[in-house]
Amino acid sequence: MKWLRTLVLFDRGEVVSSLDWDRIHQSFVRSIESIGSPEGSGKLVLRRKSQDPISKQWNRNGVGYLRSRFLEHMVKIEGWQAEGEVDLQHLEEQPEFHLYPSMESYSEPITSAFGDFDFVTTTDGGIRVAIEWETGNISSSHRSLNKLSIVLAAKKIQAGVLILPSRSLYEHLTDRIGNIGELSPYLGMWKSMGTAVERGMLAIAVVEHDELTDDPKFPYLKVGKDGRAIEGKGKRINPTT
């Protein structure tokens, strides 16, 4: 798999200039580039999306394999300890708002949890890093960046990274998977959220396949069993695994 670029949306306190961030960045880039299919090939070759001539539905690749290979490399090869949790307890306390037209103080109950990050670790220099690998639809990408911005402002982490597909890779993955193309109009909004952060950085790493193939003997990456993935899979006739 190819790492294309890392976009730094904001950097407060020059975290991006630290040796710890450089180490983390090199580490997750190596982990991205280690993802191959077929396994052991040294490159990610994906079956190009194809349309069933009868149902007119598209066959595409699943995304779970990519995430699991990344996390496995980060822990087993790069030597990071994936702790996986950030204490978000006090973040679930809602501030006061006002009702209109009475202008009474009101606190809206929080009925949805933030959820854990895909990967959380702490560097030798004490930088707490949270990484999200996109496996959901575009709304999931928005939630991930919002969540990372909130915990950065709360000083729970000092570096937040979202890894997601290029527009080109997106075309051959599960329907509506998050991708940089659809996030691009909103990047300025997340950049502005850096004003609430005392020390921390938010970044997006964009990834892509190495090659595409039309070989019908080449299997699609397995599609998951939830959300949009299973919805798309259910529409196919004789889907490959």
Q: Would you please indicate which residues are annotated as catalytic (active-site) residues?
A: 134
Contact 25, 215 (CB under 8 A): no
Which of 165, 159, 188, 192 minimizes the C-alpha distance to 177?
165
Of 83, 78, 62, 79, nearest in space to 29 by CA: 78
User: Please, which residues bridge with residue 214 across strands?
Assistant: none
Structure tokens at 65: 């394999």
Instruction: Give the Cα separation of 10 and 16 in Å (integer).
Output: 9
DSSP 14: S
Q: How many CB atoms lie within 10 A of CB 221?
A: 20
Rounded to whole angstroms, the Cα distance separating 11 from 17 reads: 9
Measured distance CA(124)–CA(80) in Å, rounded: 11
Report the alpha-carbon distance of residue 6 to residue 114 in Å, rounded.
Answer: 25
Q: Quote the tokens at residue 140.
A: 């999931």
First vs last C-alpha separation in the chain: 20
Residue identified by tokens 């570096």 is 159
